A and B are shown apart, each in its own frame.
Chain A
Amino acid sequence: MTLADVLRFAGTALRGYRRRSLLMLLAMAIGVAAVIILTALGEGARRYVTGEFASLGTHLLIVLPGRSETTGGPPPLMGETPRDLTLDDALSLTRSLYVRRVAPISVGSAPVSWQRREREVSIVGSTASFIHVRHLRMAKGRFLPAMDPRRAKPVCVIGSTVREQLFGPEAALGQWLRVGDRRFRVLGVLASEGRSLGIDLDDVVIIPVASAQALFDAPSLFRILVEARGRDVIGRAEQEVRRIIQRRHEGEDDITVIAQDALVATFDRIFRALTYTAAGIAAISLAVAGILIMNVMLVAISQRTSEIGLLKSLGASGRQVMVLFLAEAGLLSASGAALGLGLGLAATQLARQLWPVLDMVPPLWAVLAGLGVALATGLVFGVMPARRAARLDPVRALSRR
Chain B
Amino acid sequence: MIRLRGIQRRFVVGDQSVHALADVSLDITDGEYVAIMGPSGSGKSTLLHVIGLLDRPDAGEYRLSGRDVTTLDDDGLAHIRRSQIGFIFQFFHLVPRLSAADNIALPLVLAGIAPQRRASVVARALEEFGLMDRARHRPDQLSGGQRQRVAIARATVMEPAVLLADEPTGNLDRATGFEVIRILEALTDKGITLVMVTHDPELGRRARRQIHMRDGRVVEDSGRRQ
Contacts and interface: CB of A to CB of B under 8 A. Distances in A.
Interface of A: 1-2, 4-5, 9, 12-13, 15-16, 306-307, 309-320, 394-395, 398, 401
B33 interface: no
Nearest to A324: B110
B57 interface: no
11 contacts: A1-B110, A5-B112, A12-B102, A310-B95, A311-B110, A313-B52, A315-B83, A315-B158, A319-B74, A320-B78, A398-B89
Main SS at interface, chain A: helix
B102 to A, nearest CB: 8
B87 interface: yes
Most buried by B among A309, A313, A395: A313
A384 to B, nearest CB: 19
Contact of B78 (A4, A16, A312, A401): A312
Given A1-B110, A5-B109, A12-B97, A314 B49 contact: no
Given A2-B112, A395-B49, A307 B81 contact: no
A315 B82 contact: yes
Interface of B: 46, 49, 52, 54-55, 74-75, 77-83, 85, 87, 89, 91, 93, 95-98, 102, 106-107, 109-112, 114-115, 154, 158
B54 A313 contact: yes
Contacts of B80: 315
A342 to B, nearest CB: 27
Given A313-B52, A395-B49, A395-B55, A318 B82 contact: no
Most buried by A among B52, B55, B75, B78: B78
A310 B54 CA distance: 10
Given A15-B97, A16-B96, A314 B82 contact: yes
Given A1-B112, A9-B109, A394-B54, A315 B79 contact: yes
Contacts of B79: 315, 317
Contacts of A317: 74-75, 77-79
Contacts of B89: 310, 398
The 8 closest A-B pairs by CB, nearest first: A315-B82, A317-B78, A16-B97, A315-B81, A313-B87, A310-B93, A394-B54, A314-B107
